[in-house]
Chains A and B, each alone.
Chain A
């Protein structure tokens, strides 16, 4: 299957700072990327969907000014958590899907664990 990477795998930051998470599709072109969040003992919750070169579409209840998403190329999307607070501590997982070959299925990255102190 296709490979999706995330960086960093974990990050600890102080309250009030911003954190950027990168998501890359390594062997296919991702026309659509997704960002999920998962709290302990809960399922994944979709935060937003982004298409390359377009603004992201956010799910209800997700603040677009707090979670900035950029999908500037077919292999890279970034999620920036602005002015992070302890309640933003979570497991953030990106996912990517293309339009051809193995990329037509949606593949997930390994996740980024964020801890805000």
Chain B
């Protein structure tokens, strides 16, 4: 699976958009980009995933560049409860195959008043 690079930490004011970048310059054609977050002392929570098109759900938006070498997770209106470590993961294979998620160090997002 391709390696990802994320900034170790970011701050965001409550109510503002949080834009979390991820670099995956070695991604290959069949690899998906997944985002999870881990709030302190809890299991990771699925946020969103995509292959090449931008995606949006009730939690966030995922913007993938045209060359697919980087992506940005956008939390449109961050709240204090969004404070967590955010993991960008590239996973090979279509959904349902036996590929696995490998976690890097992620970005620690601190949302402040």
A interface, CB within 8 angstroms of B: 1, 4, 6, 32, 34, 36, 43-46, 49, 51, 91, 93, 95, 97-100, 104-111, 113
Contacts and interface: CB of A to CB of B under 8 A. Distances in A.
Nearest to A100: B96
B38 to A, nearest CB: 8
B85 to A, nearest CB: 8
A49 B104 contact: no
Interface in B67-108: 87, 95-96, 98, 100-106
B106 A43 contact: yes
Interface residues of B, number: 20
A44 B44 contact: yes
Interface in B20-53: 36, 38, 41-46, 49
A60 B54 CA distance: 36
Contact of A106 (B38, B101, B105, B106): B101
A108 B89 CA distance: 15
Contacts of A51: 98
Contact of A43 (B46, B96, B104): B104
B98 A49 contact: yes
B89 to A, nearest CB: 10
8 contacts: A43-B105, A43-B106, A49-B100, A51-B98, A100-B96, A104-B96, A107-B46, A110-B43
